[in-house]
Structure 1
């Protein structure tokens, strides 16, 4: 891919917040970040936080406090679509401190963890998914064969197994040459707040007799394309930012 294009893509994946944010703390541990105005709103609403000016400090039992805050954010239109899915809340050393509803992670600047699986057929073509047209994020854009968030108390391997079935209807045991390609981190502003996501990257070969089939309604369709087609779609910015970065990692660029 063109060097200038690659530089712009990677710059998009490492952006500061649009507005200043202060640390969200649980005792001495930093577990996210919040816009100061939002911190003041949470405190004024009687929610379990203390807004100190240079930080927003969570009060009380962490899981219960975060659950109350998440519900308030949702009720006031400040969170993404409610999912009834808990994600782990980690500190800046990666230690799990609590869990929170998925809808609240971006307003609270909480780091999320994801897995991506890049699939190729025996001829070397690339399996891609088009995201459902009603997805809340990046509807209709092209994505890797599978990409999903790691749930609370779930290992990367468990997420890889679960999401590969839910999104692509494939069992990991039926795939060949499963490989790890390290991890990528994305930091960028999003509509609901600030995204910090660490993505574990995997690739595998999909045997010729297997065809991906979505199980959870979140995929519009799958397509298997040759590398020139893949590169043309990348250059045309047809992929999600995260998928483009993952594909380039697997391609060695």
Structure 2
């Protein structure tokens, strides 16, 4: 039995992925205290909403997808009711596995995961890290659970702050770039619908070129930057405006904030 604690946007995305992958709805329960939301999930996915204690008692795998500040209280509530060996998977940002292990007792297998929002459209990235008592079988099981909503990679937990900056937060960076390119196109007098289509296709094509050719992004950029041409004029402006260093600073800021959140939990 899989018990899902947290049925917000990310929790529902993971729930949808489980159901799409062939998991029977009667093998999943959800903890959702809002009656209307619980009924919505039952109607969409066929899953039952149950109280926390019941979800904990029945779980072979327990997914925590709640706000970080709610995790300690939740763990204390469910700790007496978990089966021995229950696998706990936490997608609560910044919460270290050792905090979860400390609340749930010795030998509890815990896997920490940092997903990103494209899991909502099955193109997400989930970075998983094992706690002290999680083994290869546990990691493989988590990868199978998350596989239907995107790519899964493994990193040591000490790299999770970087993963947060490079994956968890990263879609917002691209949204910001696309948002401003669309604004620039509109300022040039191009109809907004046409601007958006051009910008989105350019973004999709750039990613496809990197994957298809195996070339470094810098090499591909240089290959389309003719001396004295339009692309060179644009890239020169980006360099002059310090866009590269600004992106590095942004990623470092996100990683630093992730570390700060973790320190709140005693890391």
Length-normalised TM-score, structure 1: 0.24
Which structure: greater helix fraction?
2
Length-normalised TM-score, structure 2: 0.23
RCO higher in 1 or 2 (8 Å CA, sep ≥ 6)? Answer: 1
